[in-house]
Structure 1
């Protein structure tokens, strides 16, 4: 769902993409379609996960696909026998799927040498695009799968598990006042990934190796921008669609409202605003990414009725109208959450337990204060914020 939000600037409940494998409607415009400038060369590379995975769509002139596991969700009439760009790359190397006419699994791809894995494939594809279009305006999306299940790759041994510190909330027990679905997830993740500190240190070490794979390829792409003389007039954004628990509360992956899963990197390099590093201290929302980029590209009017706001004023040291961050989870038990500027976090659900955390005093969310009886005023204030946001964005989900 968040992939669609990053591409369109719309909330999942607006696009209808409230869970995985729902196609992004053709009439819902992505960022490149909002820009709508034929002078720009456009490309999408990597994981799409918004329907018809390997087929070019939404106005992108070039489409470099990587994932063949989503064919059950192709639209009617799509060729089920078609394969991704990465599949054809591997076949060109002499590789063969385990079954005749079959697909290369993620596990198989992860077992390959570094130079043949998906990050390097995307790196080469991206750098080739940059070289071919160095003299033209361009919009290029590069979407790595890693770090992702199956949590293994060619850099598995890059980090020593014995030197890894477990998250401070690794041994935090989820008390009865925490969501039941989260407590069930702890048990499910234990069956999948193990229960001991050794199990989790080894998992985190492999996860770090996957991050380093991406780091190497991102670095190579940035170096290519430099070599081609493009770095001084190219906006670069580095972000993710979600985080990963990686041992926090003894969980793995996502699907929860804890910070490790919902707080993500958002780095930008905007040459026109100088190279002096600056950090935005207050929480901000990824729903604002599209309006921010539209303003930076001189197309603010294209934001139209998008629900987000440009953060350019914030980057320049000024204030923005909305200073609360809202988060939604669209699968039962559905949740709506808000993070306030004073670092309170309220998660409301009519289908499971609610949560309240004071992130200043409890950054690792080990004490749910919702039922403490001591913070009714905070709960009332933030509940009203969620209600106003729901009304403003036409969100019909009842959470309280």
Structure 2
């Protein structure tokens, strides 16, 4: 038998040990690899118009893919149902009274304050935002940004760049925002670092101008009317005082595109500005579609309930067409991440800055603490290692996004952040101490749509709202027996105990969140 050189045995053993050590180190390095975040937020996209939440109206296959391959939050809410305040809450993890941006009419966001993107930057993340900002000051905490001025335009929009130049880009805004986001991912970021990309769409904000390639969609569809479409607001004076009714407040020209030289409306000139941004080809396609509808509308001369129903159908169709482009572009982002091998290492979040009324109570817009505007869609495709799938029913709010992203990135969550991380829920845990109630506060009055200032508390079954400032009215709803919030039972016999319990909880939340609106409540001891 041939003898074996002991030195060779030593060498082979050394390589074996080295191989095991290298394998362990590689595995450890892979485990420590930081996860990416893609946060897609739209404007005024409501859960009723996402088929993974509600299949009555339209199909949203790419959004549904996120929910199917990840999780769908069924009790996701905002703290203040308005675009700018909602964005400020997301960035800071704090309520409006803490981050200083309470409303769109009087506030500017203090960019010097602590924000989640800044904390991610310090932890070595590449951060970027493309699209709608709507906070009146320029972004801080981002390695790259290109934002729409104010609300932005659907066609050939302007963008403000990092050099503070305003640049006009040709095309349809939803496509452009996606193009610029994917360009940053592919060509402009440091690929050695983890990233957090905020894709903030203008869509589906009023006045719902669809891409020309989608104009003919849904024209043969008759949308069902909500059960409370002709709400009379009995027992709810704040609801009666609003100016967001499809019947009396939806502008025929600005909102519904019924432009004709001999007709006027309050917002006609603003619509003409939007239309004027189109190039000749876009105008030709637009006119080809709308001219026959305009001619027929003025010929028919609709009145009363018939006119209100017509307005609702046009509103629903325009909104649905605008969603179509958004859904297609979400699909482009998912396809890119999959092609580049990034899906398993990336948390993909889709949400809106708040919900929206699709004819419920006869309304469009948002603002109220009622369900359709307080509730917001939230779906997530989870990175490898997070095995939760399906619905998450715990109550969450938009102040929770900041601590979630920070914990995901391995960053300590500052003690002054008021939200809580959603990571335990994404791991499939059922925390016993999860919140059992939520606080809400809306400030913007007087302003567009004239929704009264109000605050309140929501539990899994009940909702208590106080309208204040120029009014002093309380509303109480049993969401189990009155899901459309039509019957204000505040002050009714038999509600004394639940009212006192909710008053105590409201006071507790105002103390917890340090809201200076704190007052004494009529609590039965």
TM-score, normalising length: structure 2: 0.64
Contact 1:147–1:210 (CA<8 Å) still a contact in 2? yes
What is the aligned counterpart of 2:375 among 259, 263, 266?
A: 263
- Where does 1:292-371 land on structure 2 (aligned, <5 Å)? 292-299=404-411, 301-315=412-426, 316-319=428-431, 320-332=433-445, 333-341=452-460, 343-351=461-469, 352=471, 353-371=473-491
Aligned to 1:104: none
1:208 match: secondary structure: helix
Aligned partners of 2:133 and 2:150 also within 8 Å: no
For the pair 1:145 / 2:202, whether they are aligned, the reply is: yes
Instruction: Point out where structure 1 has 5 or more consecutive residues left out of the alignment.
Output: 71-77, 91-115
2:327 equivalent in structure 1: 215
Aligned residues: 359
Of the three residues 232, 236, 239, the one matched with 1:173 is 232
Q: Which has the larger radius of gyration?
A: 2
Provide Cα deviations, 1:219-257, integer angstroms capped at 9, x if missing partner: 101111111111110111111111111211011111212
Conservation of the 8 A alpha-carbon contact between 2:246 and 2:359: no
**Greater Cα offset, 148-157 or 227-236:** 148-157
**Aligned residue for 1:159?**
218
Residues 40, 137 of structure 1: 8 Å contact kept:
yes
Going from structure 1 to structure 2, the CA distance change for 1:16 and 1:248 (only over 3 Å counts) comes to same
The question of whether the paired residues in 2 share the 8 Å contact of 1:156 and 1:205 is answered with no
Partner SS state of residue 148, structure 1: coil
On the 8 A contact 2:408/2:423 being kept in 1, the answer is yes
CA distance in 1, matches of 2:480, 2:208: 32
Aligned CA distance change for structure 1 residues 216 and 143 (closer, same or farther; 3 Å):
same
The Cα offsets for residues 309-342 of structure 1, whole Å up to 9 and x where unpaired, read as: 122223323124422122110234321122113x
Q: Supply the distance in 2 between the matched residues of 1:60 and 1:395 (Cα, whole angstroms).
A: 29
Q: How many Å separate the matches in 1 of 2:494 and 2:219?
A: 44
Please give the TM-score of this superposition, normalised by the length of structure 1: 0.83
Aligned match of 1:397: 517
Greater fraction of residues in strand:
2
The 2-side partners of 1:23 and 1:186 are apart by: 25
**Is contact 2:136-2:150 (8 Å) kept?**
no
**C-alpha separation in 1, matches of 2:406 and 2:89:** 15
* Greater relative contact order structure (CA < 8 Å, 6+ sep): 2
Q: Offset at 1:187?
A: 5.2
Contiguous gaps of at least 5 residues in structure 2: 1-84, 153-159, 253-306, 446-451
Q: Which moved more, 1:30-39 or 1:380-389?
A: 30-39
Once residues 182 and 388 of structure 1 are traced to their aligned partners in structure 2, the CA distance between those partners, rounded to angstroms, is 30
Counterpart residue number, 1:385: 505
Distance 1:366 1:128, change over 3 A: same
